[in-house]
Structures are given as structure tokens and as C-alpha cells.
Amino acid sequence: MAQKILVTAGASGIGLAIVEAFARDGALVHVADIDREAVARVTGGLERVTGSVVNISDPDQVDRLFADLRAKLGGLDVLVNNAGISGPTSPVSDYELAAWKAVIDVNLNGTFLVTQRAIPLLKQSDQASIIVMSSLAGRFGYPNRSAYATTKWGLVGFAKTLSMELGPHGITCNTIHPGAVEGARIRSVLEGRAKASGTALEEQVDSALVNQSIRKFTDPADIAALVHFLAGSHARTISGQSFPIDGDSKSTQ
């Protein structure tokens, strides 16, 4: 029987790579994303993929998401909590309270809301998994990104607690910690740094990878493959664990 998957922020980036990996394997995948146009592209371009436009920090919208999911999938085997925002770049002394609350609201409260509503469905599955996307910033401090780092560390505690609460039901829960990920987003950031500093793009790439033993950006497809494994039949006793996929990074700097 095909797995039934929910991926938050599944319409682009790492989330889309995860959706594509499960869809290729014959799973039924539901995408939850705030970007209406991106949801339309994904659901229109991939078979076996449905979607909902949702802001996961809004409880009413999350309720509607699960009404959609029940109607379209009829159940749930795997929850991939991938949605999150980074917030502004600012030291703690200057960090605005509204910005802090916004990051907490999506990264922690939104993940809580989605997970809480998913648990009754996951308990009905005989092979259920929760995968939580943390970050390199969930292993180290992250100067000028205090809210982001705080939430990514908080997600580790949340996942560990879920693994203990849900283990008796056979539900696994693990966190994944990507570092620098290949894609248009990081290339745009590095191009901006190169332009602002008058340096070559290659120099900025080298600087971004200097703290990694393996000096290359992580392919989103490799992160998706790890998610796919953790949700599969060979990972049923892997729970409460954190999985860095970051080229052996030594820090966020």
C-alpha cells in the first residue's frame, strides 16, 4: 500500500526535493505551503501529489489543512515538518520583538500545531514517522540569527520528546540538520556578497565552505534520500536521533 505523506513547505527547495523523492517511489504526497503559485505548480506537475495553501502558524488554517488531507489521502503515515523562516540578520541587542515572535510562531508554534493534529492519524498507521527539519544552527550558535538558532535547537527537544511519547505507538521521530544546501537561494546570497565586497563568487563560495571537512554544498536530493530512509521499513528502530548532513561542519561561521 502506498505511503501517505505530508510535507510542510513542500513546494520549493528541500521540501520539493522530498516531495519528488516520495512521489517517485509511488507515495501519495500532500504539500502544505504558503506560496499559492508554487503549490499550483507542484500539484499540476507531479502525479500523486495534492496540496493546500496554508500558513502553519494559524490554527484555523492548520485545521483546514487536515480537513483537506483527510479528504485527499484518507490517512497519514509520514509527517515531514520542513516549514520554517530565518528571520532578520541582527544581533540580540538590536533584534526586534515582533521579528523574534514571527520566527517563533512559524518554526516552533507552527510545527507544534501541525504535529499535534497529525498524531491521531499517525497512530492509525502501522509504519508511522515524523521527520523534523532542524539545521546546522540547531547544533551550534548562530551569531546575528538568535531567533532562528533558538527555534532550531528547540525543535530537537520537541522531536526527542515526541520520540519518547510516541514510541509506544511505533511512531519514530528524528531531526535532520542540513548545512549549506545547493540551490538558487544560497547562490543568490553569495553573488550578493561578492558584488557588495568586490570579490569573486568563487572566493565567497570558498569562504562559505571553509568550516566543512567536505567542501561542497549539500544536494537537496541527498537530504530527501535521508528523509526517505528514515520514513522507511529499515529505520523502524531509529528514533530520537539527530542527523547532520553538512559536510562535517565545525560551526555556522
Are residues 62 and 113 in contact, defined by beta-carbon separation less than 8 angstroms? yes
Q: Which of 148, 158, 217, 243 is catalytic?
A: 148
Name the percent of the chain in helix, strand, coil, to the closest 5: 50, 15, 30
Q: How many CB atoms lie within 10 A of CB 192?
A: 11
Three-state secondary structure call for residue 9: coil
Tell which residue, 79, 41, 44, 87, has the closest CA to residue 62. 79
Please count the helices (runs of H) and the strands (runs of E) in the chain: 9, 7
d(CA 210, CA 153): 23
Enter the C-alpha cell of residue 171. 511512531
Three-state secondary structure call for residue 218: strand
Residue with C-alpha cell 527537544? 157
The amino acid occupying position 6 is: L
Clarify whether 148 is annotated catalytic.
yes
Buried b (16+ CB within 10 A) or exposed e, 15-28: bbbbbbbbbeeebb
Catalytic residues: 148
